Amino acid sequence: MESAEIRRRWLRFFEERGHTVVPSASLIADDPTLLLVNAGMVPFKPYFLGEVKPPYARATSVQKCVRTPDIEEVGKTTRHGTFFQMCGNFSFGDYFKEGAAKLAWELLTTPQDGGGYGLDPEKLWITVYEEDDDAWHIWHDTVGVPAERIQRFGKEENYWDMGVPGPCGPCSEVHYDRGPEFGPEGGPQASDERYVEIWNLVFMQYERGPGQGKDFPILGDLPSQNIDTGLGLERLAMILQGVHNMFEIDTSRMLIDRATELTGVRYGAAEHSDVSLRVVADHIRTAIMLIGDGVAPGNEGRGYVLRRIMRRAIRNMRILGASGPTVAELTDTVIKAMGPQYPELVQDRKRIETVALAEEAAFLKTLKSGTNILDTAVTETRAGGGKVLPGDKAFLLHDTWGFPIDLTLEMAAEQGLSVDEEGFRRLMAEQRDRAKADARSKKQGHADLSAYRQVADSSGSTVFTGYTHTEGEAA
């Protein structure tokens, strides 16, 4: 079943059951506590918090999400992308645990010719929060899942809250058993790659007080109980299309194939090049989706997320052997793959290409000059018998050549070295302090100009000068 069909069926199923279909919100979160939308519930937060009265009791959506904390997993696990689409159904004081569990089971197990996804019920495993006996009984007594396929998990895994006083509650997850080639038997407790999590049901039930992490008091029941669920569209596609990982599904596979054409490296040739191909497929899509929603590359916040992701895509293309620019071709493929579901990508093609290509040109320039400096520093370090690149080299690369520390870390690691990050951070802090002292003395109006010059000379130019410079030239 194609990704587009998974999405259509999701929305139709819930619409037929009284849910209002709400289009995906932009990835740029309308929420000061979040850089980017990372879950389907984000646009509905004011309703869940009781700040705004919801205009409907039930809603459904397929929401674009970006999760940068998962960046290191990309291409290594089979199931984490930085961009993915979360299919969700939501109840605002309407149905609760039983309603949500029954709907989930019905959609997953109804045969495909009957409008569902047709998963084999015997391959589905359920997890519940260890103290949530209600949920356990609903899955067992009402839905009919055998006791041996329901596992209890602790707070870390199966309890939801927003990190601040407000709504919280247990969750319950549906996992799919992909068989012994993915890991040992024994349910989600034994292997999260074999028993891949596809759907998380959150039961917003209680009001929590202040506390650290998952250590907070429950103050009482919420005045109205809500449901928030999320199913990963790409994970379900991976199962329904019978492929090994989420980068091989219809929409992402086009990108792997394009990267193969551009580099000549065959997918399946070796594990390390496969990881790079998957990283390229993932990151270039995330970057284009971010640009599509109006994020511009920069050195802070969302702009930096985009810049980092794009640079990783470009660097992995180089690791695969590409020597010139490749972003134009890759962007074209992303728009081909995602355009049918997000027509704004097609309408906005010119602008998206301009932003992406300018960023690539700037980065290739930065790489060219910085790579020589880095290689020299690596050679020197090795010659001295060291395994750690000195902090002042990392600082120089950052300050003069616009190499962010994570780029230096990654490139040094590829050559078997670590980096004295502490030394780097100390130099960064010293530079910041000098800049602050500078601003203070200027403000107080008794700046000693000769001292000011000295500071400016010794601290070099402003942070990221090299980068801004090359960027300006390329734009």
Binding residues among 197-226 for Mg ion as defined by CB under 5 A: 197, 200
Cβ 245 to Mg ion shortest distance, Å: 15
Per CB under 6 A, the list member of 204, 231, 238, 417 interacting with ligand ATP is 231
| Closest among 270, 344, 304, 236 to 3, alpha carbons compared | 236
Contact 177, 168 (CB under 8 A): no
CA distances (Å), origin 389, targets 193, 316, 392, 409, 423:
35, 22, 9, 9, 10
128 binds, among Mg ion, ligand ATP, none (CB under 5 to 8 A by kind): none
Nearest CB to Mg ion, comparing residues 145 and 352:
145
| Biggest CA pair distance of the chain | 81
199 binds, among ligand ATP, Mg ion, none (CB under 5 to 8 A by kind): ligand ATP
Cβ 69 to Mg ion shortest distance, Å: 8
DSSP string covering 192-211: TTTEEEEEEEEEEEEEE-S-
Binding residues among 148-207 for Mg ion as defined by CB under 5 A: 197, 200
161: left (phi over 0), alpha (psi -120 to 50) or beta: beta
> Which two structure tokens, joined as six digits, stand for 363?
């980065």
Cβ 256 to Mg ion shortest distance, Å: 23
- Distance between CA 299 and CA 404 in Å, rounded? 9
Binding residues among 55-114 for ligand ATP as defined by CB under 6 A: 67, 70, 79-81, 84, 86
Count Cβ atoms below 10 Å from residue 42 Cβ, excluding itself.
21
402 binds, among Mg ion, ligand ATP, none (CB under 5 to 8 A by kind): none
| Residue 237 in contact with ligand ATP, rule: CB under 6 A | no
Single out the segment in contact with ligand ATP by CB under 6 A; choices: 95-103, 195-203, 367-375, 433-441: 195-203
Residue in the block written with tokens 């980092």: 308
88, β-bridge pairs: 61
Nearest CB to ligand ATP, comparing residues 197 and 274:
197
| Closest among 177, 181, 108, 178 to 143, alpha carbons compared | 108
Nearest CB to ligand ATP, comparing residues 157 and 348:
157
Nearest CB to Mg ion, comparing residues 13 and 159:
159
Nearest CB to ligand ATP, comparing residues 73 and 421:
73
Cβ 246 to ligand ATP shortest distance, Å: 6
Looking at residue 140, what DSSP letter applies? Answer: I
Contact 413, 421 (CB under 8 A): no
- Distance between CA 319 and CA 285 in Å, rounded? 18
Per CB under 6 A, the list member of 161, 177, 228, 234 interacting with ligand ATP is 234
Per CB under 6 A, the list member of 94, 132, 177, 197 interacting with ligand ATP is 197
User: What residue type is 176 in one-letter code?
Assistant: Y
Cβ 159 to ligand ATP shortest distance, Å: 12
| Closest among 209, 217, 211 to 166, alpha carbons compared | 209
The stretches of 384-415 forming alpha helices (DSSP H) are: 391-401, 405-414
| Closest among 356, 340, 120, 337 to 248, alpha carbons compared | 337
230 binds, among Mg ion, ligand ATP, none (CB under 5 to 8 A by kind): ligand ATP
Cβ 171 to Mg ion shortest distance, Å: 7
Can you give the binding site for ligand ATP, defined by CB under 6 A? 67, 70, 79-81, 84, 86, 197-200, 230-232, 234-235
Chain residues binding Mg ion by CB under 5 A are 197, 200
